[in-house]
Amino acid sequence: MVLDPATLTVAFILLSCVLGTLLIFSWTLNRRLNALAWWGTAFWLIAVGIGWANLGKGPPGYPVLLLANALGILSYGAIYVGCRVFNKRQGILLYGGAGVAVWIGAFP
């Protein structure tokens, strides 16, 4: 059985969207646990970033790679902020966006 990279990408994107939707839905049922919203948003960010970079026709251009990878890094930041919120610490967006700022500055 040969696994096509485009098929695996679509499967990953669909799985990330389902997991993100379930986490956000769980957050709507329990609004006290804000970490679920952060984690659900992270899954959606990575799905959009991976989909944008990999599902176009031909190789992606410079702006597409820059923004798609920035979304991926932002999703890691959202996971980190969600972990901070889960541990009853302050969820500062600066921590989540610092990696994106470094990436945009270092990409060229």
Give tens-digit pLDDT for 43-80: 999 999 999 998 777 788 888 889 999 999 999 999 99
Read off the pLDDT band of 92 (50, 70, 90). Answer: confident
pTM of the model: 0.89
DSSP state of 56: S
Tokens of 76: 């890691």
Taking the C-alpha atoms of residue 4 and residue 29, their distance in angstroms, rounded to an integer, is 38
The percentage of the chain sitting over the pLDDT mark of 90, rounded to a whole number, equals: 62
